[in-house]
Amino acid sequence: MRAVSPSPAGPGYPSLILASQSPRRRELLSGLGWAFSIDAVDVEEEQPTRFESRQAILDWVAGMAAAKAAAVAGKYPPEGWVIGADTIVVLGCEVLHKPADEADAVAMLSRLQGRSHTVMTGVALRQGGHGRRLERVVQTEVTFYPATEAELAAYVAAGESLDKAGAYAAQGRGALIIEKIEGCYFNVVGLPLATLARMLREVGHEFGPPGSENLA
């Protein structure tokens, strides 16, 4: 993997650009061995919690991913492809964002314990120069074990809840409260890798096998 800091696009500059400051997405993409750069700007995000339908939620999270990709796509030539992503936790027609504090985190987890919820990640590709675009939304069902408030409070006190949608990290200690995951695990972490690879092929961006830095 060769990840570099933002700089003007030019010869030899990676043709994949991750428009995200998430260390988890960076780690996932790094694990594929692809060359990429990181260039993210703050996109003002509305934080609606209740929607009229699940379709409205799907449309919203796809739009957020697209906005993140579009925010930096104009800086790059057409050979570049910008990846935007947004991950949310959904219970019914309600979105659980990042908790405001530890008490809010415990309250969120209390609602999720002993039942299933959906993790949705919007993934967007935007060609440099604001060219072609493609969006997908991947859904994964996650079921928690029943847990007491004391157990959930102890988990929150461990310190990995406050910067996570839904107040848990499946790749961390949150794994101990998850009974099962139906669908893509990497989607729960923040970037559905197989879907991303298929999207890149769909737009004609070919890449070498895992471990290769040959991004044509």
Catalytic residue among 39, 42, 59, 86: 86
Strand duo 2-4 + 35-38: pairing: parallel
Q: How many residues are given for the chain? A: 216
CA angle 69, 32, 89 (to 5 degrees): 55
What's the rounded Cα separation, in Å, for the pair 92 and 43? 26
What's the rounded Cα separation, in Å, for the pair 73 and 172? 32
Annotated catalytic residue 86: yes
What's the rounded Cα separation, in Å, for the pair 89 and 98? 9
Active site residues: 86
